[in-house]
Amino acid sequence: MTIELLSSFGITASAGAHLVHSPIDGGEIGRVAFDDAKSIETKIARSAQAFRIWRDVPAPRRGELVRLFGEELRANKAALGRLVTLEAGKILQEGLGEVQEMIDICDFAVGLSRQLYGLTIASERPGHRMMETWHPAGPVAIISAFNFPVAVWAWNAALALVCGDSVLWKPSEKTPLTALASQALFERAVKRFGDAPMHLSQIVLGAREAGDALAKDVRIAVVSATGSTRMGRELAPVVAARFGKSILELGGNNAMIVTPSAKLELALRAILFSAVGTAGQRCTSLRRLFVHDSIYGKLVPALKTAYGKLAIGDPAASGTLVGPLIDKQAFENMERALAAARSEGGVVSGGGRALTQQYPNAFYVHPAIVEMSEQTATVCHETFAPILYVMRYRDFADAMSRHNAVPQGLSSCIFTTDMQEAERFIAASGSDCGIANVNIGPSGAEIGGAFGGEKETGGGRESGSDSWKAYMRRQTATINYSDALPLAQGIEFDV
Ligand code: UN1
């Protein structure tokens, strides 16, 4: 199946020292060669060259290339979605959803290509005008993670391309095939477009060293990195040391508060999708649940019953809701977190490996619910697995302060029909996260809003709203159309 799928994109992925495994059964699905220092250097030089040409192409014309790419994605949605399932292990519905997210951001970027607006500003001097122009920033490096192997690249690439930048993509070493397939679709769009510069979008394959090489290089204007807080902590100072710009989308520790007035059936469905969807491997996955004491006895048992009915298995099969974890290490991290939570007094339901007989080389797990009396160190740490820590609360202000008492600040939500609680949650003194939802789970954001978060999440914003500004440089121009030369601030300076 893999070979046929890959060949539909015109790729073979059969040579190279790096083996790619499917998390579905642990089997090998391809081989790729990593770039060495020399080939990375060549690619950066080519990217800089492509940028010099692309920045002068009118933005609406640049949008046309992204429009064509969106068409390729539409035509190949089923195949690319299937490949995402095969390589990242997410269920087919989510694989398709991920490609839809790529299509959506392309549409957004096409519209944006005619709306890269700057301001006209009133000058304090007579016969003068001030204006602000957004210019292309330069080559953009995109470092992406295995869990959204293609959509996160597209968020960045679609915007960067209409903004006049070239892009270099280092995908996770766990998911190079979906990257090669996306690049192949992009090349088809380039061909139809006709006169785009060569090497406008390139892939750099490799592990950490490849990311380092991109972070260090002064020719790369923007480094957009998605991954763990640890990765961001190492990468950001390298980019900052050369005064490059970075867009960081790092760890999350997303919570939900369920209040006495909440519609419990809605909350239950939202909890399920956000806590066990993508096997708990979204940066927006629900990890902490604060339940009001008065409804705890109703909601938590219902949740446990629903967990007991989850279909765990082959993510390509229809009806499956929970696919495998990405690899053995992810499973070990889950085990370690559950053991630590137990030692801190947590009561665990679920957890442990599933389908071991059928898939001895893959890592399927039973999603876990862990009832905690306190928000311990383990709860404050992001474990990329389906573990939901559940805590009781009595007082709303106390729930709010515990909600914010973690190092991460990506996504958050409240289930309530009480207007005061809803407004307090999204007020300045409410959730400290980049995303705050009311009666919606923390995951599955639409592309139209800015995506990202605060604190250890890194502060970057990608995707919708005015996130595009991070891919451009701002220039303030003051034009004097008078016959005099008045100085600002009324300064006199005459000989
Ligand atoms: C990620 O997990 O890195 O909001 C991105 C969501 C998706 C994107 C998640 N649209 O869950």
Confirm or reject: Cβ of 282 under 6 Å from ligand 1. Answer: yes
Confirm or reject: Cβ of 224 under 6 Å from ligand 1. Answer: no
Confirm or reject: Cβ of 283 under 6 Å from ligand 1. Answer: yes
Q: What is the mean pLDDT of the chain?
A: 97
**Pocket of ligand 1, candidates 104, 148, 248: which has the most ligand atoms within 8 Å of its Cβ, to mutate?**
148
Tens of pLDDT, residue by residue over 329-370, are 999 999 999 999 999 999 999 999 999 999 999 999 999 999
Rounded to an integer, what is the distance from CA 418 to the centroid of its chain?
Answer: 31
Interacting residues of 357 by C-beta distance below 8 A, sequence separation 6+: none
**Pocket of ligand 1, candidates 443, 457, 462, 463: which has the most ligand atoms within 8 Å of its Cβ, to mutate?**
443
Rounded to an integer, what is the distance from CA 398 to the centroid of its chain?
Answer: 30
Decide if 380 is catalytic.
no
Gap from CA of 282 to ligand 1 centroid (Å): 6
Is residue 14's pLDDT more than 90? no
Count of beta carbons in the 10 Å neighbourhood of residue 492: 6
Which alpha helices (H) appear in 257-292, and where do they start and end?
264-276
Report which ligand 1 atom has the smallest distance to the Cα of 282: 2
Q: What is the mean pLDDT of residues 22-34?
A: 97
Nearest to 441 by CA among 408, 410, 412: 412
Q: How far apart are CA 310 and CA 91, in angstroms?
A: 13
- Using an 8 Å Cβ cutoff, are 43 and 155 in contact? no
Decide if 283 is catalytic.
yes
For ligand 1, atom 7, the nearest C-alpha belongs to 444
pLDDT at 3: 84
Q: How far apart are CA 355 and CA 411, in angstroms?
A: 32
Tens of pLDDT, residue by residue over 304-317, are 999 999 999 999 99
- Element containing residue 290 per DSSP (H, E): strand 286-292
Confirm or reject: Cβ of 463 under 6 Å from ligand 1. Answer: no
Count of beta carbons in the 10 Å neighbourhood of residue 16: 14
Confirm or reject: Cβ of 90 under 6 Å from ligand 1. Answer: no
Using CA atoms, how far residue 255 sits from 150, 267, 351, 390, in Å, is 26, 12, 20, 10
Which candidate in 72, 106, 163, 283 is catalytic?
283
Q: What is the mean pLDDT of residues 164-184?
A: 98
By three-state DSSP, how is residue 166 classified?
A: coil
Q: How many residues does the chain have?
A: 495
pLDDT at 279: 98
Q: How far apart are CA 472 and CA 475, in angstroms?
A: 10
Tell the residue number behind the tokens 């709203």, with chain if given.
465
Q: How far apart are CA 313 and CA 301, in angstroms?
A: 24
Tens of pLDDT, residue by residue over 406-418, are 999 999 999 999 9
Interacting residues of 401 by C-beta distance below 8 A, sequence separation 6+: none
409 CB burial (10 A radius; 0-12, 13-18, 19+) = buried
Q: What is the mean pLDDT of residues 159-169?
A: 98
Is residue 2's pLDDT more than 90? no
pLDDT at 277: 97
Is residue 1's pLDDT more than 80? no
Confirm or reject: Cβ of 437 under 6 Å from ligand 1. Answer: no
Instruction: Label residue 24 by pLDDT band (50, 70, 90).
Output: very high
Which candidate in 94, 101, 249, 421 is catalytic?
249
pLDDT at 58: 98
Gap from CA of 284 to ligand 1 centroid (Å): 6
Q: Tell me how far apart the terminal alpha carbons of the chain are, to the nearest angstrom.
A: 82
Nearest to 435 by CA among 239, 249, 230: 249
Tens of pLDDT, residue by residue over 199-230, are 999 999 999 999 999 999 999 999 999 999 99
Give percent above pLDDT 90 in the chain: 98
Interacting residues of 354 by C-beta distance below 8 A, sequence separation 6+: 312, 364, 365, 366
- Using an 8 Å Cβ cutoff, are 65 and 185 in contact? no
Instruction: Label residue 475 by pLDDT band (50, 70, 90).
Output: very high
Q: What are phi and psi of 60, to 5 degrees?
A: -60, -30
